[in-house]
């Protein structure tokens, strides 16, 4: 099992606040680091870039088992995607 962790930012579509996202991906296969960085860099451009939609977008792009954690206005949101 390979584990990849990356921190990235995206802009909240409601108020323009910058949100820090903590992504963890676990996969049996090798995922190129550049693939993770590129997907995260474009995640803020996905359809309605709310936390849950970003999670769906990244899972579709990267695959694996994913966990994303971020604080939105003091509320911690955690999403999990994959097996």
pLDDT score for 69: 98
Domain of residue 51: give its range: 2-81
pLDDT score for 44: 86
- What pTM was estimated for this model as a whole? 0.93
Q: How many domains does the chain have?
A: 1
pLDDT tens digits, one per residue of 51-67: 999 999 999 999 999 99
**Residue 9 token pair:** 């930012």
pLDDT score for 46: 85
Report the alpha-carbon distance of residue 13 to residue 65 in Å, rounded. Answer: 26
pLDDT tens digits, one per residue of 10-65: 999 989 999 999 999 999 999 999 999 999 999 988 888 999 999 999 999 999 99
């Amino acid at each position: 099992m390979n584990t990849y962790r990356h921190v990235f930012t995206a802009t909240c579509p409601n108020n323009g606040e910058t949100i820090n996202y903590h992504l963890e991906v676990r996969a049996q296969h090798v995922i190129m680091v550049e693939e993770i960085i590129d997907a995260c860099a474009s995640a803020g451009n996905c359809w309605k870039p709310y936390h849950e939609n970003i999670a769906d977008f990244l899972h579709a792009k990267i695959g694996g088992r994913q966990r994303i954690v971020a604080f939105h206005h003091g509320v911690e949101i955690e999403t999990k995607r994959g097996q």
